Homo-oligomer: A and B are copies of this chain.
Amino acid sequence: MLGNFSYCNPTKLYFGKDAIQGLNEELPKYGKNVLLVYGGGSIKKNGIYDRVVEILKANGKIIAEDAGVMPNPTIEKVYEGCERAKKCNADLILAVGGGSVCDYAKAVSVSVYCKEDPWEKYYIRFEEPDNKIIPVGCVLTMVGTGSEMNGGSVITNFSQKLKIGKVFGEEVFPKFSVLDPEYTFTLPKYQMVSGFFDIMSHLLEQYFSGTDDNTSDYIIEGLLRSLIHSAQIAVNNPLDYEARSNIMWTATWALNTLVAKGKDTDWEVHMLGQAVSAHTDATHGMTLAAVSLPYYRFILPYGLSKFKRYALNVWDVDGTGKTDEEIAEEGLKAMKAWMRKIGLVMNLRDLGVKEEMIDGLVKSTLVMTGGYKVLTAEDIRNIFKASL
């Protein structure tokens, strides 16, 4: 059943080849000071930086830069970004990069004029902004997080060994995002498939929750089928525009609030994965890949009918003459085979986790209540052990 909700997604998207031209429609809406935020500098090698700067200048903008946003952006970096945004009196924060850069830009946007410590306010107490928010725009260069069309912002505090995702409201969503599938072509394969699994995990986190019938689960099944199909093509040929464009679009709709409307959601896989990231700085999507199957095997008995439906509707398992358990298990096997085939990391050891780190991981894992089983510390320990 669809519960009560309100829905509005104000982000304007420019999608396709040369979508960067959309900046010419958006930039005139903002003042002249732009804080250009990006990561490790790959955009300087592939020409995207030059293209963006050229368009900013043609629109009369004064550019201040905030480079070096790391894959798991830290709260210390956010403090630094706030200083830069204040110094240049930023009218717009333009994030050029993947989900981490977008997440970071949103964190800075709500923190510049925040009167207290934004880590405490937003990431510990989960409060909403009550101060001026600097508008954010995105030029996406990596696909997976959905950050280009939502209010999510994951920030890591290494000193506290916490990686926490805050979901802000519509007023923090990017005002616009540029989605050119060709901008993702130069991404190394490891990051590419990591992003693919991030998308899958977003869909599964929202799917494996609730027992009633709702339209959102049907939409999720469609998005999963598209992703599974296109990911295999993209791994064989990362320059396949059709596959990469489908995956880019799927990623956006996997986490822009739509498929969660009116239904329960889980997010425990992300809690397990974020604990791993907080201890190892491993790539986000790979942490999810390493823990997903052990987690789903563990909760399968508690959500059997949904796992059966998953096998039949997403993996086309032939259910003839099989028990529900057998059908459900066959779905997870098909998922495992697909994960191996596209080159995902299948265990935590490959991400640098050692047995003696498990106590720490358990402590860093937040427990969610929307899934088919609320995990105990012992459950979490067993899942991490099975993921090693």
Report A's interface with B, CB cutoff 8 A: 1-19, 22, 181, 212-216, 218-223, 225-226, 229-230, 241-243, 245-246, 249-250, 253, 258, 261-262, 313
Contacts and interface: CB of A to CB of B under 8 A. Distances in A.
A10 B13 contact: no
Contacts of A262: 15-16, 245, 249
B229 A219 contact: no
Given A215-B223, A223-B218, A12 B7 contact: yes
A17 B219 CA distance: 22
Contacts of A9: 9
A215 B250 CA distance: 7
B213 A229 contact: yes
Contact of A13 (B1, B6, B15): B6
Given A222-B222, A226-B218, A10 B7 contact: no
A15 B4 contact: yes
B2 A246 contact: yes
Nearest to A16: B4
28 contacts: A1-B242, A2-B15, A2-B16, A2-B245, A3-B16, A5-B16, A6-B13, A6-B14, A7-B13, A7-B15, A8-B11, A8-B13, A9-B9, A15-B261, A16-B262, A213-B230, A213-B242, A213-B243, A214-B226, A215-B226, A215-B246, A216-B249, A218-B225, A219-B223, A219-B226, A221-B225, A222-B222, A245-B262
